[in-house]
Amino acid sequence: MSDVSQILSQIESGDPKAAEQLLPLVYDELRRLAAGRLAQEKPGQTLQATALVHDAYIRLVDGEQTQRWDSRGHFFAAAAEAMRRILVENARRKQSLKQGGDCSRLELEFDIAAFAEAKHDLLAIDEALEELQQVDPEKATLVKLRFFAGLSETEAAAEMQISRATASRYWTYAKAWLFNRLREREISEKSQNP
């Protein structure tokens, strides 16, 4: 059992000192994931990678409810999900009326081939991703690992314990599915606001 898995097991059993031992072991990797994801954000992002890592880590290990992780991969998937939620909450806060949320929105071009690299409306992507989660949770997990955690296809496949070829097929399907959802949303918004 790896050090990370052993410490996760100790955290699960209620050892209060185990959480302190975990952060130094996973910090560099979490920081790399956070930095990669923040690099994909629109210019003007005020959240820093260090703050994102710390907020996500607090949500994972300092909660009142004991978390259960089956493996190191499960922990990093949970970290990716926590980072996604923090970024979405931050985007919603910025979009509120108090923050100028009623300003007109610029339409962004969506190129399916550049999905992972493009800087899209995070809230629209999150809503489409929630729909995909209901339809196909495994493909949604892959998108979260690739798009929000910044993992490569090979890294995401390893974390999900699937082959790289399967990850490639899932990624192609998920991009097309999300592209269609975002396109439908764009058309719907245009028809409602001519």
- pLDDT per residue, tens digit, the chain (194 aa), is 467 777 777 777 777 677 677 767 777 888 887 787 777 776 666 778 888 888 887 887 765 555 666 667 777 788 888 888 888 888 787 777 555 555 544 443 334 334 434 445 677 788 888 999 999 999 999 988 887 787 888 888 998 999 999 999 999 888 888 888 888 877 887 777 76
Contact present, 145 and 80 (Cβ < 8 Å): yes
C-alpha 160/C-alpha 29 separation (Å) is: 17
C-alpha 149/C-alpha 147 separation (Å) is: 6
pTM, whole model, 2 decimals?
0.49
C-alpha 156/C-alpha 159 separation (Å) is: 5
Angle between the 122-135 and 164-192 helix axes, to the nearest 10 degrees?
Answer: 120
What pLDDT was estimated at residue 117? 40
What pLDDT was estimated at residue 132? 92
What pLDDT was estimated at residue 111? 41
C-alpha 25/C-alpha 144 separation (Å) is: 22
SS3 for 138? helix
C-alpha 12/C-alpha 50 separation (Å) is: 25
